[in-house]
Amino acid sequence: MQIPVLSDAARGFRPLTMAARTGRREATMPALGRAPRVHLWHIGCQMNDADRERLAEELADIGFVPEVALEDADLAVLITCTVRANAEQKVYGKFRELIPWKRERPGRAVAVTGCMAVEHGEALLQRLPELDYVFDVREPDGFLAKLQALHAADIDAPVTLPASDRLSAYVPVMGGCNEMCTYCIVPFVRGREASRSVAEIVDHVGRLVDRGVREVTLLGQNVNSYRDPDSSCGLPELMQAVDQVSGLWRLRFLTSHPRNAVPELFTAMAELSTACEQLHLPVQAGSDTLLRRMRRMYSVAEYREKIAQARAAVSPRLSLSTDIIVGFCGETEQEFLGTEELMRELRFDTVHLAAYSVRPGTAAARRPDDVPQVEKKRRLNHLLALQREIAAEVNHEYIDGEVEVLVEGVADDGRVYGRTRENKVTWLAAGSATTGSLVRARVTGASAWQLHAEALDPAA
Ligand code: SAH
Ligand code: SF4
Ligand code: F3S
């Protein structure tokens, strides 16, 4: 099969290499005499997982071998995150590791994409002399065309990716975010909301199921504001359509904004057999004044009401997760205690806690970041310890009850593991179930992070 040649427009990709930028003749790649190999690395949210997978497919289409170990690679691509300063620090740390790797052999190159590439653009090339390419992962054609041109002698046909045996997959249904939470950089790096059509998504899920996937998670930064560009139907209707894909066992979605968590969504979760009893609904803070400063557009009482509606409609055992930021600008002890109280009251299964990190260009960056670092740390640790206790108690309530486990694999010691519909990691005795099966099991033990259970019988 012939490799499709990307358009001339795509070939206009800039910036290219250090040599090009310093005005010297552009470096030509030494011929490899084989298909170039690419090491991919990513950090950040599930959107980056999905972008990594798509990029791997696009690289394979132009004749490159993606997903090889670093020591075997000719090109390393970092798919980055900029949501907090520490995410960026990890990327710079990874980049430093690549410098000796790159020097080991002439012709090796490093590319940066993902959210830091949008945020910093070409400034990254100035800051990091060893960096060769920066590109926007949402528009990779120019970068891919450049690779094609440089390696014209080494590539001859699309590469076939090895069949994947995974059971779970992420399916992006929309990109971008139209909210303007004052602390958040995501709308700046991911742009305005844009949804894929129901037909395209159903088709995508169908292809995944044909390859053995049994569980999909529909992804969007603000997934419950999904709108089909053709019919303008929303997430509940999309879920209905995806539920119909035969061979699909489980359906999840991430991340919802409380403002758009409408009763129809909870009804769809209750009625569709694939829809799992799991809801991720970031609250961010448990104080109205704090929520207003964050521009979250709901009150604590409204959030509480949504949770009550969801639990009533879906299941009292609905598994609930959230995101919380501590130490936001001007957060008083009183406001912080409001967050603590809300956690005690709603008893989330999982809480993703983060200390506030100023993001340049956001509305909150104009306010003083006045909670001292040590105090942020104290508040963070306090809530982490509280959540560990709550999660242990919540999971303890599963003991003697039944769960459905999608078996994902076998550990080195022979024990079998998988996840329940509530997304809880569950361990079963060695030999009691096979990978890829759905089993009913009785819970015999629980900790804050996982369940232990004994298989009863195969459920499907
Ligand atoms: N769209 C999702 C997720 C966005 S980013 C949502 O609306 O929740 C994931 C999480 O990172 C956010 O929920 C928030 O808790 C956290 N976050 C975003 N910006 C942050 C910042 N500047 N400092 C600390 N945490 C932040
Ligand atoms: Fe960021 Fe708010 Fe959009 Fe989530 S909803 S991505 S926190 S701006
Ligand atoms: Fe990070 Fe970008 Fe996701 S900033 S959290 S990788 S959308």
Pick from 18-22, 150-154, 280-284, 408-412: least confident: 18-22
Q: Which atom of ligand 1 is nearest to the CA of 364?
A: 22
Mutation pick for ligand 1 pocket among 46, 47, 83 (CB with most ligand atoms within 8 Å): 83
Mutation pick for ligand 2 pocket among 47, 82, 181 (CB with most ligand atoms within 8 Å): 181
Average pLDDT over residues 362-387: 98
How do the domains of the chain map onto residue ranges?
Answer: 8-150, 168-396, 402-458
Q: Which atom of ligand 2 is nearest to the CA of 185?
A: 1
Ligand 1 pocket list (CB less than 6 A): 83-84, 177, 183-184, 186, 221-222, 255, 257, 282, 284, 323, 325, 354, 356-357, 359
User: Distance between CA 270 and CA 264 in Å, rounded?
Assistant: 10
Look up residue 124 and give its two tokens: 């990254």
- Determine whether domain 402-458 maps to CATH 2.40.50.140: yes
Q: Which atom of ligand 2 is nearest to the CA of 255?
A: 4
Task: Tell me what pLDDT residue 279 has.
Answer: 98
Ligand 2 pocket list (CB less than 6 A): 177, 179, 181, 184, 186-187, 221-222, 257
Task: Tell me what pLDDT residue 384 has.
Answer: 98
Ligand 2 centroid to residue 358 C-alpha, Å:
14
- Residue predicted with more confidence, 8 or 145: 145
Share of the chain above pLDDT 90, in %: 90
Ligand 1 centroid to residue 124 C-alpha, Å:
23
Average pLDDT over residues 172-188: 97
Mutation pick for ligand 1 pocket among 325, 369, 380 (CB with most ligand atoms within 8 Å): 325
pLDDT band at residue 21, thresholds of 50, 70 and 90? very low
pLDDT band at residue 12, thresholds of 50, 70 and 90? low
Share of the chain above pLDDT 70, in %: 94
Domain topology for 8-150 = Rossmann fold (3.40.50)
CATH class of 168-396: alpha beta
Task: Tell me what pLDDT residue 3 has.
Answer: 78
Q: Is the pLDDT of residue 198 over 50?
A: yes
Which tens digits make up the pLDDT trace of 396-409? 999 999 999 999 99
User: Distance between CA 288 and CA 257 in Å, rounded?
Assistant: 16
CA-based nearest residue to 304, from 256, 343, 252 = 343
Which tens digits make up the pLDDT trace of 218-277? 999 999 999 999 999 999 999 999 999 999 999 999 999 999 999 999 999 999 999 999
Tracing tokens 């949501």 back to the chain, one arrives at: 83
Closest C-alpha to ligand 3, atom 3: 45
- Residue predicted with more confidence, 34 or 162: 34
Considering every ligand atom shown, identify the ligand nearest to the alpha carbon of residue 321 and give its number. Answer: 1
- Residue predicted with more confidence, 22 or 323: 323
For the chain, give the mean pLDDT: 94
Q: Is the pLDDT of residue 14 over 70?
A: no
Reported pTM: 0.94
Average pLDDT over residues 311-325: 96
Closest C-alpha to ligand 2, atom 5: 179
Tracing tokens 């936001």 back to the chain, one arrives at: 328
Q: Which atom of ligand 2 is nearest to the CA of 284?
A: 7
Q: Tell me how far CA of residue 357 lies from CA of 45, 82, 342, in angstroms.
A: 16, 10, 22
Q: Is the pLDDT of residue 105 over 60?
A: yes
Which tens digits make up the pLDDT trace of 117-133? 999 999 999 999 999 99
Q: Which atom of ligand 1 is nearest to the CA of 185?
A: 19
Ligand 3 pocket list (CB less than 6 A): 44-45, 47-48, 81-83, 115, 186, 189-190
Q: Please count the other Cβ atoms lying within 10 Å of the Cβ belonging to residue 401.
A: 12
Task: Tell me what pLDDT residue 17 has.
Answer: 43
User: Distance between CA 347 and CA 389 in Å, rounded?
Assistant: 10
User: Distance between CA 314 and CA 333 in Å, rounded?
Assistant: 35
Q: Which atom of ligand 3 is nearest to the CA of 119?
A: 4
Q: Is the pLDDT of residue 433 over 50?
A: yes
Burial class (CB in 10 A: 0-12, 13-18, 19+), 25: exposed
pLDDT band at residue 445, thresholds of 50, 70 and 90? very high
Q: Which atom of ligand 3 is nearest to the CA of 80?
A: 6
Task: Tell me what pLDDT residue 164 has.
Answer: 82
Task: Tell me what pLDDT residue 8 has.
Answer: 64
Task: Tell me what pLDDT residue 2 has.
Answer: 74
Q: Is the pLDDT of residue 328 over 50?
A: yes
Ligand 1 centroid to residue 276 C-alpha, Å:
24
Q: Is the pLDDT of residue 195 over 80?
A: yes
Ligand 1 centroid to residue 184 C-alpha, Å:
6
pLDDT band at residue 112, thresholds of 50, 70 and 90? very high
pLDDT band at residue 191, thresholds of 50, 70 and 90? very high
Task: Tell me what pLDDT residue 10 has.
Answer: 66
